[in-house]
Amino acid sequence: MSHQLALFGHPVTHSLSPKIHQGFAQQFSLDIEYRLIDVTNDALHRRVRQFFENGGHGANITVPHKQAVMAVTDQLTDRAQQAAAVNTLFKQDGQLWGDNTDGDGLINDLQNKNISTKNQHILIIGAGGAVQGILPSLLRAQPAAIYIHNRTQTKAQTLAATSSRCHALNENEIKQPFDLIINGTSLGHQGKSPELKPSWIDHHTTIYDLTYGKAAMTFLQQAIKLGANNAYDGLGMLHHQAALAFYQWFRHMPTLNYERYE
Ligand code: ATR
């Protein structure tokens, strides 16, 4: 019988997750069925419980339910607790666990691309759910400092208050070039990008967008125009977070082979 997996979110239609996880499953000759479940906030609790009561093996959670789903879980892993968000559900000893593999997925992708975080100065633009989810993992990766810049400054201040190595900055306070600049805003989904100032970037600055494909284009192109040599979208992070989720479900760590999953 195939292992039942699902992604709960709204919307979920364009997700690459079914393909990615089918590719992983093939590596271990596992039979899986990965469904996309478009669900509203009101129905989330019931649908998730139902899925696991009916034999569901594991699930991913995406926007906008990563915070709300915490109320459905019996236990949270340390990294889900720190991120205050859940993107992966798995069963263990009859209990429903919530985990968050987004942050460690980002770190694994950065490592894979030889982008160092240790002792680096990192600027994050945005202070919404996506940034909240990756911040604990980035802090564990020993940066010199993380600066958070957001349209709504109070949200940047709230996130920055979680660590002495984190600072909220408004646009006028940002002067120096950074080692790594991460776009964590949702602007790319509207074909837009947060503005980058020339002084924030020099030839060694790495640019990373947490979104991938078309949504990341405007930001990455802007950065390249300003002289950045290395600019990446979040496709690698998507694959790495999926691999860590797959490991929670099957205790097998898949090998990433991008061409095969796209
Ligand atoms: P997600 O879960 O994708 O992170 P979110 O929690 O709604 O979504 O966060 C969206 C982020 O994009 C926030 O940092 C938001 O800035 P605000 O906190 O000021 O709302 C940012 N964002 C969205 N639209 C924006 C815009 N037009 N200009 C600047 N920032 C924007």
List the structure tokens of 33. 């069925």
**Do 105 and 242 touch, CB atoms closer than 8 A?**
yes
Q: What is the pTM of this model?
A: 0.96
* Best of 151, 192, 222 for a ligand 1 pocket test (most atoms within 8 Å of beta carbon): 151
Is residue 87 in contact with ligand 1, taking CB distance under 6 Å? no
Q: Is the CB of 150 under 6 A from ligand 1?
A: yes
Would you say the CB of residue 128 lies under 6 angstroms from ligand 1?
yes
Residues 110-117: contacts with CB under 8 Å, at least 24 apart: 110/141, 110/180, 110/208, 112/236, 112/240, 112/256, 113/232, 113/236, 115/180, 115/206, 115/208, 115/230, 116/179, 117/141, 117/142, 117/143, 117/180
Q: Which of 19, 66, 113, 155 is catalytic?
A: 66
HEC assignment per residue over 177-227: CCCEEEECCCHHHHCCCCCCCHHHCCCCCEEEECCCCHHHHHHHHHHHHCC
Query: Which ligand 1 atom is nearest residue 63's CA?
Result: 2
Bridge partners, 128 (sequence order): none
In this structure, what token pair is assigned to residue 36? 């996309």
Atom nearest to 126 CA in ligand 1: 14
| Per-residue tens of pLDDT for the chain, all 262 residues | 899 999 999 999 889 999 999 999 999 999 999 999 999 999 999 999 999 999 999 999 999 999 999 999 999 999 999 999 999 999 999 999 999 999 999 999 999 999 999 999 999 999 999 999 999 999 999 999 999 999 999 999 999 999 999 999 988 888 889 999 999 999 999 999 999 999 999 999 999 999 999 999 999 999 999 999 999 999 999 999 999 999 999 999 999 976 655 5
What is the CA(255)–ligand 1 centre distance, in A? 33
Closest atom of ligand 1 to 133 CA is 4
Ligand 1 site, residue 185, Cβ cutoff 6 A: yes
Q: Is residue 163 a contact partner of residue 189, using CB atoms and an 8 Å limit?
A: no
Task: Answer yes or no: 192 catalytic.
Answer: no
Residues 6+ apart with CB under 8 A from 205: 177, 178, 179, 180, 181, 223, 227, 228, 229, 230
Residue with the smallest CA separation from ligand 1 atom 29 is: 151
Q: What is the pLDDT of residue 107?
A: 98
- Report the distance separating Cα 238 and Cα 210, nearest Å: 9
Say how far apart CA 88 and CA 91 lie, in whole Å.
10
- Distance in Å, CA 194 to ligand 1 centroid: 10
How remote is the C-alpha of 123 from its chain's centroid? 16
Backbone angles phi, psi at 233, to 5 degrees: -90, 180
Q: How far is the CA of 140 from the centre of ligand 1 (A)?
A: 24
DSSP assignment, residue 231? E
| Nearest atom in ligand 1 to 155's CA | 18
Q: Is the CB of 155 under 6 A from ligand 1?
A: yes
Closest CA to 67 of 50, 83, 48, 56: 83
Distance between CA atoms of 21 and 7, rounded to whole angstroms? 11
Could you tell me if 220 and 194 are in contact, meaning their C-beta atoms sit under 8 angstroms apart? no
Q: For position 248, what pLDDT does the model report?
A: 98
The finding on whether 126 has its CB within 6 A of some atom of ligand 1 is yes
- Decide the pairing of beta strands 145-149 and 88-92: unpaired
Q: Is 186 in the pocket of ligand 1 (CB under 6 A)?
A: yes
What pLDDT, on the 0 to 100 scale, is given for residue 168?
A: 97
pLDDT in tens, 181-196: 999 999 999 999 999 9
- Supply the pLDDT for residue 171: 83
Distance 175 CA to ligand 1 centre (A): 22
Tokens 């479940």 belong to: 37
